[in-house]
């Protein structure tokens, strides 16, 4: 089946730093979604991407749908303490939505 | 707007017991899903439904059953609870492609 490789698995950064994470797959996807999960909560949708090459921002977050349709990137600029959480990518191809393993973000004030 | 509501939030079961996790959504979404999330892992699809009366298996359906008698409700049933079913369960719904999740139900089987 389709699988996603999300990296890094975890990040420890200083407040104010920029953050980059990505997801790659051997399969082509038609949609990429980025979610954030805080402790004890369900994932919340951050950004949705529907077209190869698409670059979309949501405040300090920017995500891109890779040209090959096999990858996507999420960047967070000027991190703040409330950015802490687990970020998941999800890709939808011919089959059902597939989730990455998540990137756990920890911020030192 | 309540969105996706799951009950209970927490439950402890003994091995062999059965229970139902409830999920309801008020967004009139056709698609509904059940995922499980094990510690430090991503989300694995258990079952999904594309509309009332239609359900299908996901990646990890063994040990679970679902039904979809209405658009709003999509309960998940565990018939004979096993320790391997200790997990956090998330229900989600969607209209097009973007999933909206409930807050989760944490289940422990001892």
Q: Nearest by CB to B42, which of A40, A96, A100?
A: A100
Q: How far apart are CA A91 and CA B11, in angstroms?
A: 31
The confidence band for B20, taking pLDDT boundaries of 50, 70 and 90, is very high
Name every chain B residue with its beta carbon within 8 A of the beta carbon of A44.
Answer: 101
Query: What is the overall mean pLDDT for chain A?
Result: 93
Name every chain A residue with its beta carbon within 8 A of the beta carbon of B10.
Answer: none
Contact call for A45 and B97, based on CB within 8 A:
no
User: Is A90 an 8 Å CB contact of chain B?
Assistant: yes
Among chain A residues, CA nearest to B90: A42
Among chain B residues, CA nearest to A89: B42
Distance from the A78 Cα atom to the nearest Cα atom in chain B, whole angstroms: 26
User: Is A34 an 8 Å CB contact of chain B?
Assistant: no
Contact call for A44 and B101, based on CB within 8 A:
yes
pLDDT digits (tens, 9 = 90+) for A66-89: 999 999 999 999 999 999 999 999
Contact call for B43 and A43, based on CB within 8 A:
yes
**A49 vs A41, A62, A83, B42, B77, CA distance in Å?**
23, 11, 21, 20, 34
**Extended strands (E) in chain B:** 4-7, 10-13, 19-25, 31-37, 43-51, 54-57, 64-66, 76-78, 87-94, 100-101, 105-109
H helix runs in B9-69, sequence order: none
Partners of B73 in the beta sheet?
Answer: B24
User: Is A1 an 8 Å CB contact of chain B?
Assistant: yes
pLDDT score recorded for residue A109: 79
Question: If we measure between CA atoms, which residue out of A47, A51, A42 comes closest to residue A90?
Answer: A47
Whether residue B1 has pLDDT greater than 80: no
pLDDT digits (tens, 9 = 90+) for B43-80: 999 999 999 999 999 989 999 999 999 999 999 999 99
Name every chain B residue with its beta carbon within 8 A of the beta carbon of A101.
Answer: 41-42
Whether residue A57 has pLDDT greater than 80: yes
Question: Which of B33, B99, B100, B103 should we substitute to test contact with A (largest number of A Cβ atoms within 10 Å)?
Answer: B99
Nearest 5°: CA angle at B93, between A98 and B17? 85
Q: Taking the mean position of all CA atoms in its chain, how far away is CA B68?
A: 12
pLDDT score recorded for residue A95: 64
The number of C-alpha atoms within 13 Å of A7 and in the hemisphere containing its C-beta is: 4
Name every chain B residue with its beta carbon within 8 A of the beta carbon of A31.
Answer: 97
CB B104 within 8 A of CB A42: yes
Q: What percent of chain A has pLDDT over 70?
A: 97
């Amino acid at each position: 089946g389709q699988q996603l490789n999300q990296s890094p698995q975890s990040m420890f950064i200083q407040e104010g730093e920029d953050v980059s994470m990505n997801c790659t797959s051997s399969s082509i996807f038609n949609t990429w979604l980025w979610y954030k999960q805080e402790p004890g909560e369900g994932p919340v949708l951050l950004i949705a991407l529907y077209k190869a090459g698409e670059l979309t921002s949501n405040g300090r977050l920017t995500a891109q749908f890779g040209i090959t349709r096999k990858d996507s990137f999420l960047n967070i600029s000027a991190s703040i303490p409330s950015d802490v959480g687990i970020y998941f990518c999800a890709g939808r191809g011919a089959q059902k939505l597939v989730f990455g393993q998540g990137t756990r973000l920890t911020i030192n004030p | 707007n309540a969105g996706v509501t799951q009950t209970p939030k927490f439950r402890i079961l003994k091995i062999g017991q059965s229970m139902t996790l409830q999920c309801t959504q008020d967004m009139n979404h056709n698609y509904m899903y059940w995922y499980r999330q094990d510690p430090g892992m991503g989300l694995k699809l258990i079952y999904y439904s594309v509309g009332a009366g239609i359900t299908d298996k996901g990646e990890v359906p063994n040990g679970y059953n679902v039904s979809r008698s209405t658009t709003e409700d999509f309960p998940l049933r565990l018939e004979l609870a096993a320790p391997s079913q200790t997990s956090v369960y998330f229900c989600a719904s969607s209209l097009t492609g973007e999933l909206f999740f409930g807050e989760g139900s944490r289940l422990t089987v001892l």
